[in-house]
Structure 1
């Protein structure tokens, strides 16, 4: 499955259906940086058992799910959002989608109940690739790169459905892949 779309900020990486690496099995990754020095992104569909209030105790009512953004720096918290009108900060990585921003202002918005899970998504850790590493993995058919997705998929909390949806959005050439079982021995 050779990817025809090149990786860049705001695009999605979709793992091939039988990837064995548990960090990236059936993963959908939003790329937030891609350049000569490497690539950074966040796994959108691997939830942890944590809620934001577990990581930031002063946010006692923060029932936001926290996702495993990837295997790098698991002691860090990151977020994407689509509420620039409320937060007034963040780096735009796709139309209307932002990475990071003023965390203190974000905490106030959460404490006041002014944000919902369909506006902001939290991650511990991130996914990272060194210079040319991702390009090599794409050539080895480990990843498909996509720029065809609905913004709602970025904020989905349904792990398996998010992966299936982005595969189907790739078009008829890939749609059959969405029905592959996670374990090929069950086929």
Structure 2
């Protein structure tokens, strides 16, 4: 299979795990790249739901029972967020396709409490996925990841976690459509 390994993932690109990846942290995962520079790489797994709700992690927000996703195995004591739409905070970083990473967390919570934001356009993550300098490039050379440059922000926020990996591969077309239907355990086929 030809991989897009010559593409250095930019913020806003997606990393889709190849079907044979057995690392339990990343099986059938879709990672949104937030940073990729001389210091390493940072991303958030978009399709791994945690067992926690937002109001279980933060005091005084009983009404906010948003799902929380596992952004990755690194620093699972940290909380991150992305949102879709217009830029809300000066400190938010554009990831393209009207998707923003981070910003003033307290202001975000206040907007949510006042029902001024569509809760379906916000995702929260505990932890993140990180790579040291050169590590992601090495994994790309080993065909661990398929790079998707053309993110569909609607499918990120509307697809179920179970379907996101498959949906993105199908949308990529060609040989990737075939991978979308590959069984998790080919021995069971």
TM above 0.5, one fold? yes
**Which deviates more, 38-47 or 177-186?**
177-186
Provide, for residues 128-185 of structure 1, a one-character-per-residue CA deviation record: whole Å limited to 9, x for no partner: 0011101110110100000123101222461221001111122112101111111122
Q: Which residue in 2 is equivalent to 1:90?
A: 92
What residue in structure 1 maps to residue 172 of structure 2? 170
Q: Point out where structure 2 has 5 or more consecutive residues left out of the alignment.
A: none
Q: What is the CA distance between 1:116 and its match in structure 2?
A: 2.7
- Deviation above 3 Å: which 4+ runs of structure 1? 83-89
Using the TM superposition, give the Cα deviation of residue 31 of structure 1 relative to its aligned residue in structure 2, in angstroms. 0.2
Greater shift in the superposed pair: 43-52 or 112-121: 112-121
Q: Does the CA-based 8 Å contact 1:149-1:169 persist in structure 2?
A: no
CA distance in 2 between counterparts of 1:134 and 1:52 reads: 30
Judge conservation of contact 1:2–1:138 (CA < 8 Å) in 2: no
Q: Residues 7-40 of structure 1, C-alpha deviation per residue, up to 9 Å, x if partnerless?
A: 1111000001121111100000000000111100
| Aligned counterpart for 1:26 among listed residues 25, 28, 31 | 28
Q: Distance in 2 between matches of 1:62 and 1:157?
A: 21
2:119, 2:185 → 1: CA distance?
31
Aligned residues: 187
In the alignment, structure 1 segments of 5+ residues that lack a partner are none
Aligned equivalents of 2:85, 2:150: Cα separation in 1: 21
CA distance in 2, matches of 1:174, 1:101: 34
What CA RMSD, in Å, does the superposition of the two structures yield over aligned residues? 1.5
